Amino acid sequence: MIDNLKYPSINIALPDWVEPFLAGKTGPIKDLEERMRLVVALSRENVRHDLGGPFAAAVFDDAGNLVAPGVNRVTAMNCSVLHAEIVAIALAQQAVGRFDLSDGGRRHFDLVTATEPCAMCFGAVCWSGIRRLVCGARDEDARAVGFDEGPKLENWIAALNERGILVVRDVCREEAVKVHRDYVAAGGPIYNSGQAFREGMQEPE
């Protein structure tokens, strides 16, 4: 046993540019396309600042107020779980002071995400208390530029619907897809852990 063993801690924090970027843009925003354009703009800025992948998300309350934004922090913080949806959900839960955003079904919150959730973020949505998921680019759009979205259920929309979570797709899809393409064209890293093994390389001894 090692005495005085200390493990590192992690603080889920947004990059410094987010707060000034959002100044005066936090709502209320009733229109879903306006919300999505704000989220796509966040994803574009994340790429411009070279702080993560071309992904962003945000949680809005039922009045259209921005509760918490999220941008991809995977490469910036060396943490594979810090996808934009995870960041937005975690910060929103801290903002309202409960792990169930819906407060037992009494409150309505939307998660607006520039790209449909991967397998991990799909699971996070299930437990978050989100009542509506609004998506821009599709799963296949992210895969098309090389990102691994994981083994997500084929009928993932129906699975969320069964949990009382409505899914709205293709909101400003082309605008969101353009951020993906611009990211790849600029040489942004496609970070898929274990990709080499899945493509046939042998595991090292």
Q: Which residues are catalytic?
A: 85
- Calculate the dihedral angle through the C-alpha atoms of 127, 172, 83, 197, rounding to the nearest 10 degrees: 110
Contact partners, residue 117, CB within 8 Å, separation at least 6: 85, 124, 125, 133, 135, 152
5: left (phi over 0), alpha (psi -120 to 50) or beta: beta
Structure token digits, residue 49 = 């600042």
Alpha carbons 72 and 200: distance in angstroms, whole number: 28
C-beta atoms surrounding 190 within 10 Å: 12
Alpha carbons 152 and 139: distance in angstroms, whole number: 10
16 burial type by CB count under 10 A (0-12 exposed, 13-18 middle, 19+ buried): exposed
C-alpha to C-alpha distances, 10 to 7, 53, 74, 75, nearest whole angstrom: 10, 19, 13, 14
